[in-house]
Amino acid sequence: NKNDNNKNDNNKNDNNKNDKINNNIPKQDILDFKIFNSNIPEVYNIEDFSRNPITEENKKRRNSVLQETIYAWSKYKEYAWGEDELLPKSKSGGGNYGMGLTIIDSLDTLWIMGLKDEFEECKEWIDKHFIIKNMLESVSVFETFIRVVGGLLSAYE
């Protein structure tokens, strides 16, 4: 009996939480997503100093991240160019799909970080080597969508 009372109390608490959540969102906003549109943050230029002041410490951090990215990218190119991933211990490339996933998945990062030459190299590789027929027989729909379709869409001009 005591356990039944605790279950009833828990159900009441859950219902109260759900009521509070549902009561905060007008029904028409749930259907047309107006509530979500009002909460999307404004995209702004990273160099907009009024919203994102650039301190010397931030400049050092940015430069450090950029240098590490350049280093990691150079090792991928040296040991695994065209492969899905770099295997750092063996200094070789690998992966399960044979799609050059790292090249495609890195397009947006290279562009955003200002590594335009590396971006152009990737575009050339994709143009010459990314052929659906060359892929392994079995590919993951999830990996294909998040890395290939996502990478290509993010780089679309």
The pLDDT tens digits of the residues spanning 97-119 come to 888 999 999 999 999 899 999 99
Sign of CA dihedral 86, 87, 90, 96: negative
At 80 the three-state DSSP class reads helix
Q: Which residues contact 108 (CB under 8 A, 6 or more apart)?
A: 151, 154, 155
Whose structure tokens read 């050059």?
Answer: 100
**Residue closest to 105 by CA, chosen among 43, 156, 157, 147:** 147
Percent of the chain with pLDDT over 70: 62
The pLDDT tens digits of the residues spanning 122-145 come to 999 999 988 766 665 677 778 778
Mean pLDDT of 82-111: 91
Label residue 21 by pLDDT band (50, 70, 90).
Answer: very low
pLDDT surpasses 60 at 83: yes
